[in-house]
Amino acid sequence: MIKRILIVALALGLAACGKHPTGRYEAVAVPSSISHRINAHGIRVAKAAKGQPWLLMHADGSSDPVSGLPDDAQVTGINDKDELTGYIQSPGCKDSTCPAHAFIWSEGKLSDLGTLGGKSAHPQAINNNGDIAGSLEVTSAQPAHCASSGSQTEYHPFVYSGGKTSDLGAPPGDCGMVLRLNDQDDAIIVYTKVDDAGRHIDISAGYHDGKVTALPGEGKLTAYEINAAGDMAATLTTADGNYHAVVVHRDGSTQDLGTGGYCCSAALGIGDDGTIAGYVDTGTSSADASKHDILHAVLFRDGKTVELNGLTDWSDADKKKNLTVGLADFIAADGEILTQAYDAQGKFAGLYILRPEMK
C-alpha cells in the first residue's frame, strides 16, 4: 500500500511540475533469465536461476525477495496489487508425479489452494480481485492427446473465483487452459487439438459473462492479451499464408491493424487505452519470421504503426552491441513496454523494459 501511495504521489508530482512523456524510451535491461509480465506499476516477478529466490523487481531497479515461497514454486502471474499465483508440489511429496497445487501469494503469506477439485491445478493468471485461472487436470475415460501415455487425463481451462472453481471444459481429445484473465473475469482460452495430419494446433477462444465463445477466423486467429474492456490483442493468419495484427473486440468484431507497409505483423499486448504492442516482419513473407533481425517492435496507436527502434535510447554499453528491439510483448498502464532485444546477428540478447522518458 505504501508503494502504491508513493507511485501515485510521484505521478501527481510530475503532473504538477508539467512533466510529460517525450515520446522516447529508455531501454533498461531485465537482470534475470526467468521473467514474467509487468503489472500496472512496472513491477515484475523474476528469478535469476534455479535455486535462487523469486524477486519483485521494481521500476526503479530495486528488488524485494518473495518470502514464503518454496524453491520448487513456479510463479506464473502477478496482478496490480503485487499478488502472485502459480503452482507448487503437494507438500511433503518429492516425486515428479506429485499433484500440483495452486497458490496465491499476498503480502508475504502463501495460501495453498490445493488442486481445486482436479488431479492437479496449474494457474496462469491472477486478476486484481484475486481470482485465478489456468489449466485443471481432470480424470477422463479417454485421455487427451496432450496427456502422458497411459494416463486417463484431460486438461480443462478453469476460473477460480469467490472460493469456487468453474471447469470450462474442453472438446473431446483436446486440451485447454486460460491464458489471460481481466478484472471482469473475461478471459482468453487456448485449446490445443490434433488435426488430420497429426499436427498440434492452438485455437483461441473467448470467455465472457460465464460463457465460452468461439473467436472469428475459423482457427486461424491466436489471441495473446486482454485488457480491462475485454478487447484482445491477436494475430490472424491470412489466406496467402502471412499474418496480420488484429484487435478482437468484446462484441466479437475484429479490426485489422495493418502491417505498416511490410508483409506481416503481430499483436502481442494491449493496454487499457487501446494501445497495441507487437511487431512487424520486414521480410518478404511469413517464411522469414524466424529471422529476428528483420522483426521490428512496434506500437499500433491512433491508426498508426510506430516503430520503437528509432525512439529507443540505449546505454553506452548496449550501444556497442548494436541491439535492436525485435518484439514488444506487453504494455503496462504507466506506458512501460516489456520487449525482447536482438544483436546484429539476430540472436536473442535479453529482455528489456522500455521506460517512457519524461520532460
Per-residue DSSP letters for 113-157? Answer: EETTTSSEEEEEEE-TTS-EEEEEEEE-SS--TTSPTT--EEEEE
Q: How far is CA 47 from the centre of its chain?
A: 16
Q: What is the pLDDT of residue 150?
A: 52
Q: What is the pLDDT of residue 142?
A: 67
Give SS3 for 61: coil
Cα 278 from Cα 226, distance rounded (Å): 14
Q: What is the pLDDT of residue 112?
A: 96
Phi, psi torsion values for 235, nearest 5 degrees: -130, 130
Cα 241 from Cα 261, distance rounded (Å): 17
pTM of the model: 0.86
Cα 209 from Cα 280, distance rounded (Å): 33
Residue 157 C-alpha cell reads as 481451462
> Along the chain (359 residues), what's the average pLDDT of each consecutive run of 10 residues?
34 51 90 68 77 82 86 90 92 79 95 95 97 92 61 86 94 86 96 77 91 85 95 92 94 93 94 95 66 80 94 93 92 88 88 90
Cα 266 from Cα 175, distance rounded (Å): 24
